[in-house]
Structure 1
Amino acid sequence: MNIVILIYDSVRPDFLPVNPHTEVQAPTIEKFARESVNFREAITSAPWTLPSIAAIIGGIYSHKLGLYTWTQPYPDDVKTLFHYLEEEGYSIGTFVFDTRYLFSHMPFAHVVDHSRDFKKVLKWINDHSNTKFLLFYHGWLTHIPWEPMNSDEAWRRAVREIHKKLRENWQDAVKWCKTRYIKAIEYVSEHEIKQLLQLLEERDILDETLIFLISDHGESWGERIEDKTQIRVNFDLHGRFLYDENIKIMMLVKFPHSWSKGKTIDCQVRSVDILPTILELLGIPPSSTSRPLDGRSLLPVVKGTDTKRIAVVSTTGLVNEDYAPYIAKMAIRDFPYKLIVDFEEDKWEFYDLLQDPYEMTNLYNNPTLYKKVLKLKELLQREKNLIPSHMVEQFEKIKMQKMLKQLGYL
């Protein structure tokens, strides 16, 4: 069985062509969805790339791994997807948005090149089509500025211009941004995904290949920022918040031999479930010397033998002036309820996603929901206790500095 994992940055599931309300015209993705299992309630471990993908390859929540800066090495007591498949004799090829960042301190990821030239990806597949292989691809065309750039400076200039548009004329800028975003999704559908599927079919290996078409996180356009003049960085669009527009992800899975094709799963699942799913399909037990997995296989969910929704933990981390990471916010999503805490502001939010899917009405202080809030607070506290000590220390340091500054000592 070959394995292809296509991660397209920032793609929201409500922008997929299988959604009846979308404007996206992407026939290849639409056809792929008909041949796949569509997990409509898939949640990422973090709303930005590094911690999200770290959780995917390890099957462990981001806040336990503690990876929130590009220069951090992967924990050596965690066995990743790459480790497992290398032991099984797989050829592994990884393509990333920029080789200086993602996996730059993780040689076991077998990074081949950047992902901007898709011809190189197709060539790699063609060269390894006679062996069992893992292709791990992170595409960035669906990330702001939603079009290819020929240099870092051009990319930064385009991003700054978009932030400026959002600050100065937010409503018109959002329409403009969404149009570009849609075009980017349509482009990768018909110029990347289509070519990849055609190549697998030409090499007569499509039917025996497991394909994940997913995103690492969602996207927003400053809707949650009251003062639009404060939109300054990409983190204001994704990364800073834990609302569903940022943590719900695309997850379409085409199993070998068209198993369960066309099925839609409404049960809540998690990005950390991807690794244990692959391990079960390959008959590989989780390593007894590695940290225990948070994820669990999706196969019982697809078979209908496991329909219990699992509470999902999502976190976002920031860095202080020393570029030291700490957890800023944490969310527990136990559908239909969701609890979010901002540790810096000591602010709590509680939502009923069935009644309020856009998370506009904070019910945290509603006395009739006290027991439900308490239940999720207990779950959150258990997960908070598992945050690495160095991140807790950084947060306490920052909290003390803010207090001293407010008192006039700094």
Structure 2
Amino acid sequence: MTVDIVIKNGLMVLPSGITQGSLVIDDGKIIGILKSSEPKADRVIDAMGKVVLPGMVDMHVHLRDPGFPEREDFESGTRAAAAGGVTTVIDMPNTVPATVTLEAFNQKKAIADGKSLIDFGFIGGAGEVPPKNIKELAEAGATAFKSFLIARFKELAASDYTLYKHMQLLAELDRPLLVHAENGDLVDKFMEEAVASGRTDPMAHCDFRPDIAEIEAVMRCITLSAQTDCHLHICHISSGGTVDILEWAQSIDQLVTGETSTNYLVFTKEAMNERGPYAKVDPPLRSKDDQLRLWEGLNDGTIDVLASDHAPYTKEEKDKGFDNIYDAPSGGVVIETSLPLMLDAVNNDKIGLERLVEVFSTNPAMMNGLYPKKGDLMLGADADIVIADMDMPFHIKGENLQTIQKITPYEDMKGKGMPIMTLVRGQVIYEDGQVIGKPGYGAFQRPLV
């Protein structure tokens, strides 16, 4: 028997631990995990001295398609993902139209079917929408739903009453509710204070958006979800105080999980002085103490997921923030650089390879109902694989990124640890610095149960 691909001699990060050996791939699946001999193959990839990881599952991306083709689309965004070792993306609902109806869901799916280089799934919007919409989106394959607590997100924003009713329904449907947890009233009033005091410099975004807005919203969501048995997932945690609250909620067996992003693990608020609006994110960057607590929570299991929160804007949109930080939108180009930055963190003993796989692949696959098809190197799983060179240096330059927008908060950052090959369902889509995958290869992923 001749199989499609054998990856030999690599240090494989398996559910059981790290071991050297070979992965056997045929018909898009992992069919063998061997420590010594391997079968004949159409292609043999020697991964000696390299690490072999499951592909990353990035459950928090904004690919801006449909609605904002000047910022990003499914082709450019998934090209960048492939170069960054991401093999599955879960796209957020704040497109135009927002993913709050079955029609909008199907429109987005048709676009992604023709453009995506990697596998993809969708989060449904859970703002002021009727239960019928939630049920239809779940049936269509939405992996989870998301609510915002800030009114300007329009049809994605939910009142406390709506949030509670959505939690009741999603508990029945067995879908998580993701929340952008910030108190919208506090956020708006603090911003008014900043402008009234003449503070529109980049650091004002941090100084006048304190973590009480996040902490209060998290406590409110936890209180509501405790009465419903809904799986509550807190997105892009920035505050050490939120980690403390999650730790408490989990200690009393409440079904609440948390996620942080590369932005908060790499930058503290001082980056606003250095990088201006390119480092502007919501919630804002915090103190060094907050960052240390995030790392602690990520490593001890309190924070379950690492995601990029890739949210591109044009240079013209972001540059407005140099004169007035409140004129610039929040978010940036992150997806291609998240894994290299985290591999560098592994090299600097901030996180272990096995834990990195858990938070950036296994856990997000589980939360979105894609496990064990995605998220681990195991028999029968999709052959979504990343080969990484832990000794390869990188120097981030926006002009070299695969995304439409060539601006990045990580401009000129250096480190060590790079994905050198990415496979999706057994097909090599990225190799030696070149994206070789084709638009339309990516497949829609719906929850397995």
TM-score normalised according to structure 1 size: 0.38
Q: Which has the higher contact order (CA 8 A, sep 6+)?
A: 1
Structure with a larger share of its residues in strand: 2
